[in-house]
Amino acid sequence: MTSHIHLLLTSDGKVSPDNIIRDMKSFISQSFHKMLLDGNNNYESRKNWLLWIMERSGDKKGGNRQYRFWQDGSHTVEIWSDKVFYEKLEYIHMNPVVSGFVSKPEDWLYSSARNYANLPSVLDIHFDR
């Protein structure tokens, strides 16, 4: 989606999903900020605007560092059955359709619906179910 992401992930039980998401968000935020600051970055035409937005957002959030990429929080849901797994997967796949971006779930480039439809995808997924 253009304003948020959905993930179905598994954990070995040693690390909580909340910690996995926290670390993922931190890594992506730092990597994106570093990429924008890279002096050799000439492929992102909105570089200065994006840095300004992130810095402004960071200033508004008390206790935050210099910049902010993600909104606070996440919404984790425990998947306790195959039925719930497939309900959540269907919701995720239908999200860009319901939002009016595409007509079919597999038309969304960044969706695992492409994998399930045996189409080329930019995402690697693991079919553990």
How far is the C-alpha of 16 from the C-alpha of 20, rounded, in Å? 6
Q: What's the token pair of residue 78? A: 């425990």
Per-residue pLDDT in tens (0 to 9) along the chain, 129 residues: 677 888 888 877 888 888 888 898 889 888 888 887 776 766 667 878 888 888 877 766 665 567 777 877 788 888 889 999 999 999 999 999 999 999 999 999 999 999 999 999 998 887 665
Closest CA relative to residue 35, chosen from 46, 24, 22: 46
pTM for this predicted structure = 0.74
